[in-house]
Amino acid sequence: MKWGRFMAFLVMVAVVIGLTVGTAMPIAKKIPLGLDLRGGVDLLYQIQPSSGQHITESGKQALLQAVELRVNNLGVASPIIDLEGRDQIRVQLAGVKDQAAAAKTIGETAQLAMYSSAKMDPKTGAPIAPAGKLLATGADLKSNASYVQDPNTGKNEVAISFKDPKKWENITSTYLGKPIYIFLNDNLLTDPVINEKMFTGDSVIYGPQLTTPQECQQLASQINAGALPYPLHLQSETSVGPSLGQASLQATLYAGMIAIILIFLFMIVLYRMAGLIADIALVAYGYLTILIFNGLHVVLTLSGLAALVLGVGMAVDANIITYERIKDEMRQGRSLRSAVKIGNKNALRAIIDSNATTFIAGAVMYWFGQGDIRGFSVALMVSIIVSLLTAVLLSRMMLLSFTNSGVVKRPWWYGVGKGVLKNDEA
């Protein structure tokens, strides 16, 4: 019996159990849950066509697309967007921190306008309202606006490009040396003086309303989502409960706990000590997954949970593959120690290939999917990586140090029955 190896094994077990018991709950509580699991905010918009404008079927589809684009720009997982009645759009969002800003981004068109002059506040001399000639609007801009940082000053800006570089060239040549006034929803954004003629149509805008990256991103996404075909008016804003139902989720939570306990017992019955090691690796899997979800600010939905369950399945599978291989090696007459070593080695390729294939599926789903599908694929990719770290790497380290410590010598501890072995002892 080697006490050093056994101590190393005990330390690994203690670290996993200690960290999980000590810190898992507070971290888990920080993970935002999706609309289906916790509910969120329900926004109802009235489509209000301007006078003389008719709502057409294609116009409604364009409007829904624009709304969807704006919701996606908010970075919200799995929104629900419904067309309601003849002239209403209902949007349900989960995990939104600033509801008012979200409601605004979805419903308001960024009315970006550039004017040749402005009314000045008589007291301060600061420009307050547009005047003079309307030079350009948000509609003149391409849909590729983005948040940038000035490489020299570090100032937050929004990079824009004009659809027609000629137009911007004309403006900059006409008003060379003069200020122009850029308003966002009738508030002055900035009043830059044009210093040189611009030929490419590319420019940046900045101003007192664009100080944080978030503000810049919001303006950029509003410009990119374009003008809404019809103005929207926010009619109501209510909080909604989980779409899967409170009682139902409570029951599911308990059932999930029973399932985990049964899986743990099943592994121990099948593989004894090795099964227990697999169970500890599973605890580490759960803990690391929670940690990464929290770090990535993933909004967890039922699809995400499904992917995690699949991840648990794959993690358990990795251990089962390894233990069956170890049994195979023992049947061929290897000693306990070398069976554990060779078994681990032989199992690895199957585990890597099967996990890599599923990971590729996850990556493709992320690339081509949206909403719920993306939530699923992110959770799947995270759980595959974590399961390789825990169910393969950690589990292997624990198993090897336990085996090499020589605490137990009977293969029974690894789930190997009597009669399959040629020489019963290591």
Q: How far is CA 12 from CA 245, 319, 368, 395, in A?
A: 40, 17, 40, 10
Q: At its nearest, how many Å lie between another protein and the CB of residue 346? A: 8
Nearest CB to another protein, comparing residues 68 and 202: 68
Q: Give the whole-angstrom CA distance, residue 412 versus residue 383.
A: 31
Q: Give the whole-angstrom CA distance, residue 252 versus residue 321.
A: 29
Q: Give the whole-angstrom CA distance, residue 406 versus residue 410.
A: 10
Residue whose C-alpha is closest to residue 376's, from 297, 311, 318: 311
Q: At its nearest, how many Å lie between another protein and the CB of residue 49? A: 19
Nearest CB to another protein, comparing residues 180 and 391: 391
Nearest CB to another protein, comparing residues 49 and 369: 369
Q: At its nearest, how many Å lie between another protein and the CB of residue 6? A: 28
Strand, helix or coil for residue 230: coil
Q: Give the whole-angstrom CA distance, residue 61 versus residue 129.
A: 35
Q: At its nearest, how many Å lie between another protein and the CB of residue 316? A: 5
Residue whose C-alpha is closest to residue 110's, from 135, 132, 140: 140
Reading the block at residue 152, the tokens are 């020299």
Nearest CB to another protein, comparing residues 138 and 242: 242
CA–chain centroid gap for 8, Å, is: 36
Nearest CB to another protein, comparing residues 178 and 345: 345
Instruction: Tokens 């003086």: give the residue.
Output: 193
Q: At its nearest, how many Å lie between another protein and the CB of residue 239? A: 6
Q: At its nearest, how many Å lie between another protein and the CB of residue 374? A: 10
Reading the block at residue 136, the tokens are 């350009």
